[in-house]
Structure 1
Amino acid sequence: MLASINIQTSNAKTLKAIEDIIAGDPTAVISYNEPDYLSPQDEARLMEISDADDRGELKYRSHEEMLEHLNKLFKKMAR
């Protein structure tokens, strides 16, 4: 007998419990349908950033460069 169960929850403990139950059955399959977490506006902005990266328009800074930049910015703001 094959059974299918559809559970909708955002509770991490419930999801973990389901995974533990499934782990005891090697023939069981668990799948997720993750909700979209980005708003349409955020998704559009992310695409703009990705496209700018593809065109080589973004400048990346190392961790050290970013710290130096922030220190200069904070010193400027303190004046």
Structure 2
Amino acid sequence: MPLPDSQTLSPHEIVPMLIGSTVEAIERELVLQTLARCHGNRTHAARVLGLSVRTMRNKIRQYATDGVDIPAHS
């Protein structure tokens, strides 16, 4: 479930849309959208999210194994 642009919604508008989703699904969507906004730059996306590059790499590897399309570095 793609999330709307967070720059146009406040947290009290976003949270109700997330109810019913798993934390794992929300995290995956956040990682993928951040990666897309960082033009596929995994190091930058990891910094934006406060993750280590290793953690980002492991998450991306798991998503790819699950068949999720990963934004490519552009």
Bigger share in helix: 2
The TM-score with structure 2 as length reference comes to: 0.25
Which structure would you say has the larger Rg?
1
